[in-house]
Structure 1
Amino acid sequence: MNTTLTRPRTMRRQRLTVYAGLAGYVTATGAADLINPDWSPIEAMVSHYAHADAGWLIPLALLSLATASTALLHRIISGNEPRPTPQPAETALLRTADGPRWTAGGPRWTAGGKAATTLLVVWIAALILGALFPTDPYGQWDRPPSTSGMVHGLAALLAFTSLPAAAVLFTRVWRRDPRRRPAARRLTVTAVLTVIAYLVLVLTFMDVQGSRALTFGPWESLVGLTERLTLWSYVAWLAVAAHATSHDPRR
């Protein structure tokens, strides 16, 4: 088999799978909002739409996001970015004191790389759990959660926490890779956005569980909006990461 041709084709398929999965998530959640105009996307979280009309769109959206993330994970683990064996001078240049040591197949595993990969696996598993176990209906913040709602809540906690941590760690590792320099700024910006959005989401979620002091106009809470902004920032980082792990990130 001609691996010279097969590997770039595999890379393109993986990248397209990431983009298709991300597009599927955005399309499904957007459709859920359009189909349910009586629901407020400012107040109701995405997962609550599982109890609205066309509720099947929500597990579909989560599974699409999990598919995109799995394709990205495979790109990262397989390291299928062919590269010529570095010359001695190039090797010396790449082997910095504080960075990973590069080989023909890509960076050897560092502590940060291993931790980031583990966090990405947690993110994927949490998305699948969230799709299989729907949350409780909207407006039941003050009631004990059902078993399904409890599992979904735990999955959401793991998902929302693991992805920004993975984004920061992966970005830190990739910024040291000369092959990633064309995408370094975009990786950094989107990784920072995931962290900021996550912190704002935590603030608004804690508010809706307590005093509900963070209101705006007719809306009693902003948790639906902040959750959407957080997920969009995650989608943005995943898209940039898929581009950055291409054979030539400048394309």
Structure 2
Amino acid sequence: MVGRYGLSDRQWQQLGPLLPGRADTVGVTAKDNRLFVDAVLYRYRAGIPWRDLPARFGDFRVIHTRHCRWSKKGIWELVFKVLSEDVDNEYVMLDSTIVRAHQHSAGAAGERKKIECLGLSRGGISTKIHALCDALGNPISFKLTPGQASDLEGADALLPGLTAGALLADRAYDVEQRVRKRLREANTEAVIPSKKSRLVKIEHDRDLYKARHLIENFFAKIKQYRAIATRYDKRACNFLGAIHLVAAIEWLN
């Protein structure tokens, strides 16, 4: 099945060789890798419970368990990193988006809620996705936090080691110590509007800043997957694994 709910032959030719269970690797050879990936994509695209997967995909419990295992082992993240090696770092963009957590995912309490990146924001229980994209709007890296967390937590996690000509970000990132100083040390231009409360405004490249819409476009693309636009996963690692898989597909488009 191709199109909205599955991989095309061209996409599979690039993705398939990166997955475990190949004939040339140690262990049992998997015969259903493509069917499994299509099943995971179908679930997140349609936003359905795992038990509602069409019977053609096989036992939903096996698919769910395998997705959990691959997410925990970082397999989806590894696939994403391999496919995203060809980064255009003329400039990069940093931003975040909030997704509501469905009641089925929001049962964690106390410290566990923080570990699973669930928090109470204006819209209710939610998770915040922080992302870094390259000059073409392709994703580079991600960080999950509870929904009420500051955007600067994403900057703290994603900016170290950054090599780019410029960073495009909105005024929420107009902070001296945690952002601007770090960018100066990395010889990266800060294309960040000044906060309204800043007494001495800092100029930025207004024409270049217009390209920041590309990261907003990326968030809009991944939110076409209904189980990413709304979080149904109890475990943060499973939700992040799905984000890495969908982001990897974006690199193949």
What's the TM-score, normalizing by structure 1? 0.30
Compare the two structures and name the one with the higher strand fraction: 2
